[in-house]
Structure 1
């Protein structure tokens, strides 16, 4: 187990380092002047020179990279040119919206997908199975921002049950804050639920073909007990893989939905930073998201070791 986790941690560290190297190279080393890109062609020469000094562009690229990585390891992501604030503080503020939103959407996706996947597998090649597969096709084909627009039209404009956008903040209480996240979470959860339902159905169908399942049936185990006690626990490995990837995607891919609902989350921050050409913020957010994806994959590997001990020996 220790050797298994050590290999995964080493892979995590190498992948995170490669992510920082790639992001830094794209934004700082490739041809072009980052300061000129941020300020525009009409900027005064003395302003350009001051920003180049602030960004360390007068120093060799290797020195700038090492200082940037060393700063991130201590929580210093630099200072935003647009907001004149530390990038780390901006990211922490926005994570207070994005992480609860992603977690909420993941819970909704799981609550929708697992029962549907189990039901479709139990009704294989019957009407219930076809209905779930149709839901999966629609959910995969329709983008989340379209679901977001439909939810706003139905539940905010027509029914008036929810606000069309905005976020009151956690300081006003958990109730109003959670209510503001309901529609965005549903918009994010529906496409992911469609994917997870199909994965659950396939994993359960594969498990139902195993010999121990036939043995349990021969012993008279009820269909419900068979699904809950024998089939679902053994189908969790592919399901847990998709769940881990979905959480990372929900955090990194909420840019459009957060902008539709004007939520002050991480996705909206990176969108605003790109539109304002604030490369320091873009650089910090992209690296954080890359590290988050790698970390989630590591946690999925740990979940493998807990659910099924065989990967510890085989890898």
Structure 2
């Protein structure tokens, strides 16, 4: 297993390096003059020269890339042009909102999708199966921002049970903070649950056709015992893969939901940085999200190796 994980680690490290090269080229080489892109064509020449000196654009691109990678390795992400603050501080402030939001959405998605997928597979071709499939189609088709607005209209405006947006901060207490994250977590969880339920259903249906499942049934085990002891553990490999991908997406892809609910999370930081042309923040956050996806993929591979030994043998 150690050799398998080492090979995967080397492969993902190469992928992470390619991601840093791609981001650097797209944001600092292809535009020609990033300072002109950030300040616009109406900027004064002396202002452009000052920004070029501040960003180090007067040095060759390979030197700037090496300095940037060195800063990433030491935790120095540079200083935001818009906020005039270290990017590392901005990211740390936003992660304490985005990570709990993503974890809550992932927990809700899992708690909703796994029972639905098992239920649909155990009633394959019947009304329950069609109902779950319809939920899956609807959850995938409905735009996330529209569903978020619908939740606000129902639970915040009409019923007044939950806040419509904003974040009071963790200093206000865990109760108010988690309450503010509940509706955004639901808005993120339902579309992901629709995907995960369909994957779970397909994985369980494939497992139900295995010989050992028929043997368990022939021994007289009930449907719940067969599903719980034999089917679900063996159907977890594709489910774990989707869970890892969903968590990476929830951390880096919650831009729309965070803007709808006015949450000062990482997605909103990227959105604001793009609007303000703060390429320093955009570059660093995009690379951090890419590295996070790579790390999640490594954890998923490790989970696969622990659940199913066949990938180790194949490697």
Which residue in the other structure is 2:282 paired with? 282
**Pairs within 5 Å for 1:89-104:** 89-104=89-104
Paired with 2:31 and 2:78, the residues of 1 have a C-alpha distance of: 22
Whether the 8 Å CA contact 2:31–2:37 is kept in 1: the answer is no
Cα displacement (A) at 1:32: 2.5
Give the whole-Å Cα distance in 2 for the aligned partners of 1:40 and 1:261: 30
- For residues 75 and 13 of structure 2, the distance between their equivalents in structure 1, rounded to whole angstroms, comes to 17
Long gaps (5+) in structure 1: none
Three-state SS of the structure 1 residue aligned to 2:313 is helix
Name 2:67's counterpart in structure 1: 67
User: Which residue in 2 is equivalent to 1:79?
Assistant: 79
Q: Are residue 300 (structure 1) and residue 300 (structure 2) matched?
A: yes
Aligned to 1:175: 175
Residue aligning to 2:245? 245
Distance 1:182 1:250 in 2: 14
Task: Tell me whether 1:6 sits opposite 2:18 in the alignment.
Answer: no
Distance between the aligned counterparts of 1:109 and 1:180, measured in 2?
Answer: 18
Distance of 2:32 and 2:99 partners within structure 1: 34
8 Å contact kept, 1:156–1:162? yes
2:148 equivalent to 1:148: yes
Cα pair 1:144 1:190 within 8 Å, conserved? no
Q: Give the superposition deviation at 1:169.
A: 0.6
Report 1:30-41 matches (<5 A): 30-41=30-41
1:108 alignment partner, SS class: helix
CA distance in 1, matches of 2:222, 2:144: 38
| Alpha-carbon spacing, 1:281–1:31, altered in 2? closer, same or farther (3 Å) | closer
- 1:44: how far off? 1.7
1:145 CA drift (Å): 1.2
For the 8 Å contact 1:216–1:226, the answer to whether it is kept is yes
Q: Distance in 2 between matches of 1:64 and 1:257?
A: 34
1:238 is displaced (CA, Å) by 0.5
2:160 corresponding residue in structure 1:
160
1:226-265 aligned within 5 A: 226-265=226-265
Distance 1:175 1:68 in 2: 40
Distance across 2 between alignment mates of 1:307 and 1:272:
41
Alpha-carbon shift at residue 161 of structure 1 (Å)? 0.6
Alpha-carbon distance in 2 for matches of 1:236, 1:179: 31
Partners of 2:11 and 2:161 lie apart in 1 by 47
Q: In structure 1, what is the Cα distance between the partners aligned to 2:109 and 2:37?
A: 40
Superimposed CA distance per residue, residues 93-148 of structure 1 (whole angstroms, 9 cap, x where no aligned partner): 10110011011000000000000000000111000000000000000101211110
Partner residue, 2:133: 133
Aligned 8 A contact 1:27 1:283 in 2:
yes
After TM superposition, the structure 1 stretch with the greater mean CA deviation from structure 2, 120-129 or 26-35, is: 26-35
Q: Distance in 1 between matches of 2:68 and 2:15?
A: 17
Q: Please tell me the root mean square deviation across aligned C-alpha atoms, in Å.
A: 0.7
TM-score by length of 2: 0.99
Which moves more between the two structures, 45-54 or 234-243? 45-54
Structure 2 distance, partners of 1:264, 1:11, is 34
Q: CA deviation at 1:299?
A: 0.5
2:195 counterpart residue number: 195
Query: In the TM superposition, what whole-angstrom CA distance separates every residue of 1:227-268 from its partner, at most 9, and x where no partner exists?
Result: 111000000000000000000111111000000000000000
Q: What is the total number of aligned residue pairs between the two structures? A: 315
What corresponds to 2:119 in structure 1?
119
Q: What do residues 260-295 of structure 1 show as CA deviations (whole Å, max 9, x unaligned)?
A: 000000000000000000000000010011111111
